[in-house]
């Protein structure tokens, strides 16, 4: 049987006296779009950061494709070797770089040939439908365009897992609905294992193969049903 793309086993993470993750265990199968749903402060972002290696669990294990990447206060595989794409809530685009340069900066650390870097940058911009914006700087883009750049930058190295931390939270309702559908299209096109953090049940309705419900640092329930995802408009 093929290993889960992501496995958390009894993961606990504390910040001082605050328990952000409390003995969390879950599996995300390869190619699954998992939406982590819950109120602010329930541990959703901490879970993403633990998976990414930006935080180390105090106890428990994190595995990617069956390989232990961190466990009980120790990092076994550093973040840059986990083959993950991460879209942060504030997007974290480099303001002094153009759209294309934001992608090139990521590709520069991959060791790929220049032609392969060119192909990947072109394909990523095409997938998120912003090829014509390659020469612009982040401040010259709308909020929705910036979201697409952040997505392109996250997928350009062809990661095995894509992590998204409430990337649509700052957008108005109409634009959020449009980009929600785009994200669903993108995930299907790439068959990419995705973990998407949100407090919005509409995101889950459109994006999720599996919904992971969290409260107070614990996973309350996991509901998986591929038939529940809506087709994007």
Per-residue pLDDT of the chain (233 residues; tens, 9 = 90+): 578 999 999 999 999 999 999 999 999 999 999 999 999 999 999 999 999 999 999 999 999 999 999 999 999 999 999 999 999 888 889 999 999 999 999 998 888 999 999 999 999 999 999 999 999 999 999 988 999 999 999 999 999 999 999 888 878 888 888 888 888 888 888 899 999 999 989 999 999 999 999 999 999 999 997 554 444 43
Total number of domains constituting the chain: 2
Local structure of residue 54 (DSSP, 8 states): S
Tell me the Ramachandran region of residue 197: left when phi exceeds 0, alpha when psi lies from -120 to 50, beta otherwise: beta
Same domain, 97 and 123: yes
Same domain? 136 vs 166 = no
Exposed/middle/buried for 191, CB within 10 Å: 0-12, 13-18, 19+? Answer: exposed
Same-domain pairing of 76 and 183: yes
Q: Would you give the DSSP letter of residue 42?
A: S
Q: Is 142 found in the same domain as 178?
A: no
Residues 20 and 118 reside in one and the same domain: no
Distance in angstroms (rounded) separating the CA atoms of residues 49 and 174: 29
Same domain, 1 and 50: yes
| H or E segment and range at residue 18 | strand 18-28
Residue ranges making up the domain that contains 141: 92-159
Name the nearest CA neighbour of 29 among 55, 7, 49: 7
């Amino acid at each position: 049987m093929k290993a889960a793309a992501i496995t958390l086993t009894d993961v606990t993470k504390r910040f001082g006296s605050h328990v952000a993750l409390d003995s969390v265990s879950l599996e995300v199968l390869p190619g699954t779009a998992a939406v982590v749903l819950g109120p602010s402060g329930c541990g959703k972002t901490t879970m993403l950061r633990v998976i990414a290696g930006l935080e180390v669990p105090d106890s428990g294990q994190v595995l990617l494709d069956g390989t232990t990447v961190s466990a009980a206060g120790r990092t076994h595989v550093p973040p840059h070797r986990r083959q993950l794409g991460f879209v942060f809530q504030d997007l974290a685009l480099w303001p002094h770089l153009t759209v294309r340069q934001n992608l090139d900066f990521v590709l520069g650390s991959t060791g790929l040939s220049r032609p392969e870097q060119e192909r990947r940058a072109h394909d990523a911009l095409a997938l998120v439908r912003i090829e014509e914006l390659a020469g612009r700087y982040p401040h010259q883009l709308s909020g929705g365009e910036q979201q697409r750049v952040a997505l392109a930058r996250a997928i350009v190295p062809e990661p095995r897992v894509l992590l998204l931390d409430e990337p649509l939270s700052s957008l108005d309702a109409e634009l959020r609905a449009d980009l929600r559908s785009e994200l669903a299209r993108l995930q299907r096109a790439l068959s990419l294992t995705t973990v998407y953090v949100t407090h919005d049940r509409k995101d889950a309705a459109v994006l999720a193969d599996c919904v992971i419900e969290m409260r107070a640092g614990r996973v309350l329930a996991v509901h998986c049903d591929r038939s529940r995802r809506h087709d994007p408009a």
